[in-house]
Structure 1
Amino acid sequence: MRIFSSTLKLVLMGLILVPVSAMGGPIEDGKQAFEARNYDDARQSFAKAFGDGEAEGGYFLARMFELGLGVEVDDLAAVRLYRQTAQSGYAQSLNRLALMHFRGELGVAQDFVQARDYFSLAAKAGDKNAQFNLGKLYFEGKGTDKNLDQALALYRQAAAQDHILALNTLGALYKKGAKSPADKEKARQYFQRSAEFGNAVGLFESGLFQLEQGDDVANRIAAHRLFNLAAARGHPRALEALRELTAVMMSDDLRQAQEEARAFVALSVSEGK
């Protein structure tokens, strides 16, 4: 059942009253309500923000209609809101429209050229997801000619904003194509940064790099900690590596490695949609 003509129209016309806290604006109120799963309050706050001209409010409304959170799923309403907010240059909406064209979803025909154009606009606006996605198009030659230099430049832009996939992609590319110690060091640094956010791939690859530095006790302890954390996060090769390392380590060293793993606190990273 389509609800664009009823619920969404009422929301966008401002016919639903929205209480605004004294300390925060509608967007912040909406996010807090959303995190608490108070979807009615979230929808009203986002609608208030969108009605006041804040594109971010329209973007979050679109997400709610797309995912059916607090409302019935309505692809038409979601796409219309994405397009409206994209017209104002809102980067996350541009990236979402690009993904629709790339995948061919929500009633939008697959079109790699359109995807490239929307990704380009969002990437120029600084959206790290769009920077990575556009880099992938250049890397694979979809919607554009292959351009590895352009792909790497975009991956680096995204990685500079701690985009996890970009960090891991660059780490893998530098590791695979390493022609010098400097290339291997770049790979290690990218994986290490990913590991700091608790990513399984970054943790596992950092463990491998740790062992490459030597087979002494300190390196074994550090590698065990990394493999342990990677295994806990579901890396497919980490558990075997952890077992092999456990079998050759002294009990005191294992105790220290496990204590260090227990004390690990991942950095938080904000990912766009």
Structure 2
Amino acid sequence: MGFKILRLFCHVLYDKINAKTCQNPRKFITKNYQTARQWFEKSAAQGNSDAQVGLGILYKDGLGVGQNYPSAYQWFSKAAAQNHAEAQYALGILYEHGWGVKQNYQAARQWFEKAVAQNHAGAQSNLGNLYVHGRGVTQNYQTARQWFEKAAAQNHATAQHNLGSLYALGWGVKQDYQAARKWYEKAAAQNHAVAQYGLGSLYYNGYGVAKNDQTARQWFEKAAAQNHEDAKKALEILKSQGH
């Protein structure tokens, strides 16, 4: 099988939640976060659930305010009480990671399930991750795959990457590097850094594709441009090998 470059699938089932998690209310947020907060506060006081989620995002990510997970939790809770899918998803994230609340995977699952009932792609993807890792549920790769497929059908990049990883690892499916490549390509087309790194690894090792160090380097460069540390290390290794 040859040298496996830097833990080929060390990012097995990417579930990192970054500052860009909650997307819909973000369309109301400009670079002037303080102005956004002022408008959100006025609307949130009148019970506007989008504004409540917007405030939750600002406090969760420390945009225009000091980062404050308990405040984020309070605003997300107000919106979730109005059946706002993004707020339900956000609460699931807080419980999953223990941000502002005691970490509770079962509570995370319950909130994700409320959001997936409204076909929320992010919640579908995160629910799949819970099943992969057996967090708050019995570990079940087949169920995880089903949730990833639902989210991937909505073009959710992380779910597409995660499906690729299931195929690469043979978890809940027959190991199939070509299928892994297909899903990684879909996610990489959306600039998903971990999928770009995964594609580079496939090409470096010749898994599901003809081994091609030049193509591997191109994908590693794309991931490294997004500050993906393992991709940077992979480029160093390729350079040391004269590629």
TM-score tier by shorter-chain length is 0.7 to 0.9
Q: Find the partner of 2:78 among 71, 84, 90.
A: 84
In 2, the alpha carbon distance for the partners of 1:31 and 1:166 equals 22
2:125 alignment counterpart: 132
Please give the secondary structure, in 2, of the residue aligned with 1:88: coil
Letter in 2 for 1:186: A
- Residues 1:196 and 1:115: Cα distance change in structure 2 (over 3 Å): same
Q: Find the partner of 2:39 among 2, 23, 45.
A: 45
Contact persistence 2:184–2:199 (CA under 8 A): yes
Please give the secondary structure, in 2, of the residue aligned with 1:35: coil
Q: Does 2:114 align with 1:121?
A: yes
Q: Find the partner of 2:178 among 180, 185, 196.
A: 185
1:238 alignment counterpart: 234
TM-score by length of 2: 0.72
Aligned pair count reads: 212
Please give the secondary structure, in 1, of the residue aligned with 2:150: helix
Structure 1 residues not aligned, in runs of 5+: 1-26, 249-273
1:102 alignment counterpart: 96
2:155 alignment counterpart: 162
1:214 alignment counterpart: 210
- Residues 1:194 and 1:65: Cα distance change in structure 2 (over 3 Å): closer
In 1, the alpha carbon distance for the partners of 2:141 and 2:156 equals 19
Contact persistence 1:227–1:241 (CA under 8 A): no
Greater radius of gyration (CA): 1
Please give the secondary structure, in 1, of the residue aligned with 2:135: coil
Identical positions, percent: 30
| Higher relative contact order, chain-length normalized (CA < 8 Å, sep 6+) | 2
Please give the secondary structure, in 1, of the residue aligned with 2:155: coil
Comparing both structures, which one devotes a greater share of its residues to helix? 1
After TM superposition, give the deviation of residue 99 of structure 1 in Å: 2.4
After TM superposition, give the deviation of residue 239 of structure 1 in Å: 0.8
Contact persistence 1:210–1:223 (CA under 8 A): yes
Contact persistence 2:158–2:192 (CA under 8 A): no
Q: Find the partner of 1:153 among 126, 146, 151.
A: 146
